[in-house]
């Protein structure tokens, strides 16, 4: 399908969206007269959108507004679907049904092997089945716009984008620390079908959404897979990827152009210890239990906090030239294990969820499954 050749007959909205994306990629800078998306006013916050705004700027504004402006018509947890399904407010918007369907396609496009999709498929270890991970709309749209648009590497690494992601994370932390945010807890539980029976505290005891987000579980909710201390365990509820060597991880998974262990750890001397070593990546999704634990027995060593940015750690971002792991905010802790040696434990913050709180202490003797810390909404 060629966006420069006229088509006879009707086309589907999927084809239309594909043509629009091809055109945007082929012409990253339009003239002021050329507009594919003609939205004069945001359907959520109702702010006038300036004529000189590019198409991608318009979609970015609406995507962020839909998620982060509950006071202006959006609702915590509703995301873009809140206005797509709620209808438009004026006759002019009602006539643009194609726009809502195109944006819906961009936000919820189907998965195709070998193509750049924002969808994530994970394999359930218990059943072996592939399941699609539910994802907030702001992440899905942010991935497509920031990481897949023409010239995205320059755009996403600009100071403006980094400041935007940090400010959004800090702002979201404040909102979810507000007692009003507790109203989002029932919706979150229903949407993600969470097992409330394994939660330690009564639901009514959480004073805000952030407290629920880093909730504790009952001691019986997670058990060791083996009593053998030679078996390292997953440190969290997560999507896990393990590699025998760091080099294999770089060739198969991590695509950052400047990724090195030295940059990841922020320490050249410490990095030398892990040359040829194995690597495990444990990614937490929004609905996961957000406390993380010790994978091995040992003694907690020193921790180094590294200031950084707040890129999403979604796989679509990891598999781009942007160096997410070595640029995001993170905490590097070493664990002196009698069996595994010196283990480097790197807790990496992300977009919106950028607060890393450690509950273990240096010099503390720990066993597998002992708590190390938790993630929270915010940017501290």
3-state secondary structure of 1: coil
The token pair at 92 is 């002019």
3-state secondary structure of 125: coil
pLDDT score at 211 = 97
Domain encompassing residue 65: 13-149
pLDDT score at 85 = 32
Residue 357 lies in a domain: yes
303 CA to centre of own chain: 24
Residues 130, 270: one domain?
no
Residues 145, 244: one domain?
no
pLDDT score at 59 = 63
pLDDT score at 133 = 66
Q: Who contacts 206 (Cβ-Cβ below 8 Å, separation ≥6)?
A: 182, 185, 212, 215
In what helix (H) or strand (E) does residue 240 lie, and over which residues does it extend?
Answer: strand 239-243
The DSSP string of 312-373 is: ---HHHHTSSS-HHHHB-EEEEEEEETTTEEEEEEEE--SSB-EEEE---TT-EE-TT-EEE
* Strand pairing category for 291-293 and 298-306: unpaired
Q: Which of residues 149, 183, 203 is at a domain's end?
A: 149
pTM of the model: 0.67
Residue 320 lies in a domain: yes
Q: Which of residues 108, 132, 149 is at a domain's end?
A: 149
Q: Is 300 exposed, middle or buried (0-12, 13-18, 19+ CB in 10 A)?
A: buried
pLDDT score at 71 = 37
In what helix (H) or strand (E) does residue 272 lie, and over which residues does it extend?
Answer: helix 268-272
Q: Who contacts 87 (Cβ-Cβ below 8 Å, separation ≥6)?
A: 94
| Annotated catalytic residue within 100, 169, 237, 297 | 237
| Annotated catalytic residue within 14, 25, 248, 380 | 380
Longest dimension (CA), the chain: 72
Residue 39 lies in a domain: yes
Residues 351, 232: one domain?
yes
pLDDT score at 308 = 92
Residues 133, 266: one domain?
no
By the 8 A CB rule, do 116 and 146 touch?
no
Residue 187 lies in a domain: no
Residues 123, 232: one domain?
no
pLDDT score at 27 = 53
Q: DSSP letter at 204?
A: G
370 is catalytic: no
Show the CA angle centred on residue 327, arms to residues 325 and 328, nearest 5°: 75
25 is catalytic: no
Residues 365, 275: one domain?
yes
pLDDT score at 106 = 41
Residues 23, 143: one domain?
yes
Residues 128, 232: one domain?
no
Residue 214 lies in a domain: no
Q: Which of residues 112, 133, 149 is at a domain's end?
A: 149
Residues 341, 242: one domain?
yes
Q: Mean pLDDT, consecutive 10-residue segments, the chain of 380 residues? A: 59 62 54 54 74 64 54 37 36 43 42 43 65 60 50 59 82 92 91 92 96 96 92 93 86 77 94 92 90 98 94 74 88 97 96 94 97 93
Residues 128, 244: one domain?
no
Tell which residue, 136, 139, 140, has the closest CA to residue 107. 140
Please state the domain count of the chain.
2
380 is catalytic: yes
pLDDT score at 314 = 74
| Annotated catalytic residue within 293, 297, 323, 360 | 293
Residues 236, 363: one domain?
yes
Positive or negative, the CA dihedral 225, 228, 231, 233 is positive
Residues 251, 372: one domain?
yes
């Amino acid at each position: 399908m060629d966006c420069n050749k006229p088509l006879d007959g009707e086309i589907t909205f999927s084809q239309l969206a594909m043509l629009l994306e091809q055109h945007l990629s082929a012409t990253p800078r339009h003239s002021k007269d050329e507009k594919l998306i003609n939205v004069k006013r945001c359907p959520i916050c109702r702010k006038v959108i300036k004529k000189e705004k590019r198409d991608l700027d318009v979609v970015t504004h609406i995507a962020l507004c839909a998620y982060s402006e509950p006071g202006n018509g959006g609702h915590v947890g509703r995301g873009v679907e809140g206005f797509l399904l709620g209808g438009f407010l004026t006759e002019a918007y009602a006539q643009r049904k194609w726009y809502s369907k195109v944006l819906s396609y961009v936000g919820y496009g189907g998965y195709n092997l070998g193509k750049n999709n924002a969808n994530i498929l994970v394999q359930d270890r218990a059943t072996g089945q592939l399941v699609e991970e539910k994802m907030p709309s702001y992440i899905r749209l942010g991935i497509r716009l920031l990481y897949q648009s023409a010239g995205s590497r320059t755009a996403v690494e600009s100071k403006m984008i980094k400041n935007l992601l940090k400010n959004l994370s800090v702002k979201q932390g404040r909102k979810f620390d507000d007692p009003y945010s507790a109203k989002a807890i029932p919706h979150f539980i229903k949407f993600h079908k969470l097992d409330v029976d394994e939660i330690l505290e009564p639901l009514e005891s959480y004073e805000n959404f952030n407290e629920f987000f880093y909730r504790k579980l009952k001691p019986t909710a997670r058990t060791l897979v083996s009593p053998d201390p030679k078996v390292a365990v997953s440190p969290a509820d997560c999507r896990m990827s393990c590699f025998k060597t760091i080099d294999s991880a770089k060739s198969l998974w991590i695509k950052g152009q400047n990724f090195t262990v030295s940059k990841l750890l922020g320490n050249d001397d410490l990095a030398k210890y892990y040359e040829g070593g194995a690597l495990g990546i444990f990614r937490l999704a929004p609905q996961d239990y957000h406390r993380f634990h010790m994978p091995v027995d040992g003694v907690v060593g020193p921790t180094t906090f590294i200031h950084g940015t707040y890129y999403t750690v979604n796989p679509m971002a990891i598999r781009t030239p942007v160096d997410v792991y070595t640029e995001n905010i993170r905490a590097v802790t070493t664990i002196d294990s009698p069996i595994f040696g010196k283990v480097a434990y790197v807790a990496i913050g992300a977009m919106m969820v950028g607060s890393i709180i450690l509950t273990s202490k240096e010099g503390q003797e720990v066993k597998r499954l002992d708590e190390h810390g938790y993630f929270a909404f915010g940017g501290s």
